[in-house]
Chains A and B, each alone.
Chain A
Amino acid sequence: MRWEETVVEEATADKEDTSAPETVVQSSVPQPKDDFQEELVIRPLHSGDIYASFQFRTLWETDFMRGNKVSHYRLFPKSLGQVISKFSVRELHISFTQGYWRTMQWGQPFLPSPPGAELWVWFQDSVTDVDGTWKELTNVLSGIFCASLNFIDSTNTVQPSASFKPLGIGNVTDHRFLRYATLPREIVCTENLTPWKKLLPCGSKAGLAVLLKSEKLFHSSFHSQAVHIRPVCQDWQCKTTSWELRQTLNVVFDLHTPGQGKLEWSLFKMFSRTLTEACPLASSSKIYIDITDDPQGEQFEVSPATHLLSQAMVLGDRRTFSVYDLTQQITFGTVRSLNLLIRWKSSEDMLRPLLHAERYVAGYGLQTGEIHTLMYNNHPYRSFPVLLLDSVPWYLRLYIHTLTVTSKGKDNKPSYIHYQPSKDRVRPHLLEMLVQLPPNSVTEVTVQFERALLKWTEYTPDPNHGFYVGSSVISSLVPSIVAMDTNSTREQPLFSSFFPCKEESSYFMRVYTEPLLVNLPTPDFSMPYNVICLTCTVVAVGYGSLYNLLTRSFQIEEPSPGLAKRIANIIRKMRGVPPL
């Protein structure tokens, strides 16, 4: 349908002079410029797995917020545009992840995401009732993405005060307009992938999106799809702004082939498809293969070979990539299809990621417990501060006086603590701390909690599975080895331009810990009627005995006459004769 639109537009552009008045008006109003780029980055990981990251970016120079309603959507999906204008959204970030990113084995991802669903939104200043708008927004998004986001309510929504600063343009930081929620229990499947693919301009018919087939994508160790919407500057002075929509999909494929020697991956093996053409609507369509670990080509072998090389600063490191430009017909060769083949030998230890976190629950029994969060700073000599955000559901009652932060065995007092205690059945706990991590150390944060007994209707149908606690978010500016580029408007690959870079010596990193699964004591679900009866019986025993003692008095008991005598007395009374 979109190609037909393009054809119609070109046709009207040609027939300017001879067309009807409406089309003359249409062509004289300039259409806001929009641009679509797609890219795929493939990075072989040290554990033998392979990491593929798709990014699809649509830039549109329009203004949803000003009065004139946008009605002609071209590359930007209409459903999301309407969401932005109706709910006055300034930034929207939603991700659906299946699996947990193993930082120690795989390094850092380009775009981190926690297991389950995560949604955080910055609203515009003009919104008066943020909570009501948030509720409507989650329900609408639930429909768009076919996910059960309607479970997001006040009991799992928090307002972080420092951790989630706007990623696009935004000087205002009134945190009343920020909402953050996670659903760690959410499962991602084909049903969520399909509407996500429908948002792409070319759908899944052309370009890199043809590779997104669910039978292979969900047969992986890690799968994450996300949508990020934010306003960005178009030039250095930020005179024009445009709306950026990024759809990202990260997937890590398992190493199946055992045995020594070289590991082999191909596009067909990973996605069961090959590429035949770029998306016609895309201004740039590239594939990047990370060959930094082996620039000479001894360990690595990529076919078909390419001479295009590119260097980019990503995650504080300068990486070298082989580039395949899909807009050039030559890339596809004579067979008109591109099936990249990568052979490499899994090499020695990789560079340890500078920031890494783990979390677990300690304790035994169903009464109390302790949450331990471990943060590893692997930099040999630099220390840096991290912001830890913890959102714990209300039924695990945290005791903040038991909070301890220790590094290298010594007490490490956080310089900033923002704690909002929970209210039963209304809102969760929110704990945000700024902790300075000393170099080459492990920092342990422990908090004790108490498990609550809930009403029998508040348990899920599988109560002994446990209750999920969402991942902790650790945000930090990590010192980088190479100088980072602070000019975000320069032409650079999509994967290196997601997080804005404000200074040269450090880059922004966000790490998510594991979600926790905590058991709560359960009542017996088969017993409501029995319990009501038994308890009311006990209360009635109390009432009855006190009632007897209060309303009756002591009397001498006269033995009652036998049955015969009683009948005789009745007859005598009827006769009018005195009784026996």
Chain B
Amino acid sequence: MAAPLTLLLLVAVTVRAALYRSSLADLISERVEVVSPLTAWKRVVEGLALLDLGVSPYSGDVFHETPLIIYLFHFLVDYAEITFMLADVITAVALYLSVKDYNKQVFRKQKYALEADRYPLDCLELIRSPKEMQYIPLKVAMFYLLNPFTILSCVAKSTCGLNNAVIALFVLSTIKGNVLLSAIFLSLATYQSIYPLTLCAAALLYLLQRQYIPVNLRRFSFWWFVAQYAFMYLGSLFVIVGLSFFLLGSWDFLPSVYGFILSVPDLTPNIGLFWYFFAEMFEHFRLFFLCVFQINVFFYTVPLSIKLKEHPVFLIFMQLAVISIFKSYPTVGDIALYMAFLPVWSHLHRFLRNIFLVSCVLLACSALFPVLWHLWIYAGSANSNFYYAITLLFNVAQILLVSDYFYAFLRREHHLSHGLYLKRKDGSEATLVLK
């Protein structure tokens, strides 16, 4: 497996290097779909320039990166391109290794279930074979590296690539069962942008499962493990925040980074739902809807965890998707991360209902984004509603994609326990509905 992976990495790095050297690099780094006020490279350079001028980067409203990024790029600003390519490579390799491990576990669980005769006889065609699962890790790495969204994000030098690398390392360490590293990477991811906090539940569920601790609220072992994990997570978070304080000697970065993410003062257009909503909001209701939108991101954690407590990796996928769609400043780099997981669920294809529609809409919207932006901002013949409409459509397509996969996953689980060919009471073929 190493050889195809290495070939894939070479191809990916070549494509990115070629684009860096072309004139498209400047064009791409200005696109609002690819960079946001949180992740733009121009703003990182601006922050470093302000630091050189002797002004705190957080005294203005241009720089919203965490102090660790200042730390990192203070030394690496000349090697930025290599840094971002390396981040993409790390993400791909981490996802590759984690999916490989996950597949092994899935196959082992399936084997035990088959031996225990837990599957009804007619759903043998739903059983997965090692042959079909062999190329999935490679496909995952390919989906991430050769996804146009990822390439655009890397060429634009958006720090989203770094965030994705940290989340991928978190996934890898969780699936490998390393509790400490999982907590550390999760706290790093939360420190970068607040939303990965929701992945805590998924990590806990996975690690509990792996250590054979039953998820029972009355048991001491469950709470002891949760306490350990929480301690490690919060401890590393405090350490990182403390280090950030000592970099510039002030707490200015807290309102500048986290206050910015939560209160959304900058209404620069992006592919998300927040910008136009808050541009057209009645002042009286602004705080209310801000709270509603932010709660919406965190709100699905508990219900999803309860429903998917047996399948924490799918829960991670769902959480990443919910974060990417509903966060305050989404970019295409966030979408690329959860789309990289899609090959892992390729066995669900027979239960997917809307996949053709969704893929057509996503392709069409991706093509229309730059067109309508140009018409609004440069040609002046369209107005903001055109771009906003495509944003809405893009998000609806993403929501359909995610809920479709969720439906297919739940349906497969249902068939695995109740049989594939279901019959009605009178013996005719039955249809399954959600009731």
Contact = CB atoms under 8 A, between A and B. Distances in A.
B367 to A, nearest CB: 20
Contacts of A365: 377-378
A531 B61 contact: no
Interface string A81-125: 000000000000000000000000000000000000000000000
B377 A532 contact: no
Nearest to B423: A556
Contact of B50 (A400, A453, A456, A548): A400
Nearest to B435: A555
Interface of chain B: mostly helix, strand, loop or mixed: helix
Contacts of B424: 556-559
B277 A558 contact: no
Interface stretch (B100-108, B151-159, B197-205, B260-268): B260-268
Contacts of A399: 42, 46, 62
B406 A524 contact: no
A423 B60 CA distance: 5
A549 interface: yes
Contacts of B395: 538
B283 A554 contact: no
Contact of B55 (A394, A421, A425, A534): A421
Interface string B58-101: 01111000000000000000000000000000000000000000
A163 B176 CA distance: 63
B53 interface: yes
A256 interface: no
A457 B266 CA distance: 15
B432 A424 contact: no
Nearest to A552: B434
B434 A554 contact: yes
A580 interface: no
Contact of B414 (A455, A531, A546, A554): A554
A554 B433 contact: yes
A262 B275 CA distance: 64
A556 B430 CA distance: 6
Given A400-B46, A401-B45, A401-B46, A532 B434 contact: no
Given A522-B384, A539-B273, A556 B432 contact: yes
Contacts of B32: 367
B281 interface: yes
A545 B403 contact: yes
Contacts of A452: 266-268
B49 interface: yes
A513 interface: no
Interface string A419-456: 11111110000000000000000000000000011111
A542 interface: yes
Nearest to A367: B377
A523 B265 contact: no
A546 B383 CA distance: 33
A422 B60 contact: yes
Contact of B432 (A401, A521, A523, A557): A557
A105 to B, nearest CB: 34
A363 B320 CA distance: 39
Given A365-B378, A538-B399, A552 B435 contact: yes
A527 interface: yes
Interface residues of A, number: 52
A532 B281 CA distance: 7
Interface string B347-386: 0000000000000000000000000000011101001110
Nearest to A423: B61
A521 B377 contact: yes
A366 interface: yes
Interface string A497-535: 000000000000000000000000111100110011011
Given A453-B267, A538-B396, A531 B277 contact: yes
B420 interface: no
A557 B433 contact: yes
A368 B42 CA distance: 13
Given A532-B281, A552-B435, A556-B432, A394 B61 contact: yes
B21 interface: no
B394 to A, nearest CB: 10
A521 B384 CA distance: 8
B273 A538 contact: yes
Contacts of B268: 452-453
B49 A557 contact: no
Contacts of A559: 424
Given A399-B46, A535-B273, A552-B435, 15 more contacts: A452-B266, A455-B267, A457-B283, A521-B377, A524-B384, A528-B280, A531-B277, A531-B388, A535-B392, A538-B273, A539-B293, A550-B304, A552-B434, A554-B411, A556-B432
19 contacts: A366-B380, A367-B378, A421-B50, A424-B61, A453-B275, A521-B377, A523-B384, A527-B385, A528-B280, A534-B392, A538-B396, A539-B296, A546-B300, A548-B434, A550-B304, A555-B433, A556-B422, A556-B424, A557-B431
Q: What 9 pairs between A and B have smallest CB-CB spacing?
A: A421-B60, A401-B49, A545-B403, A552-B434, A365-B378, A528-B280, A531-B280, A542-B399, A556-B430
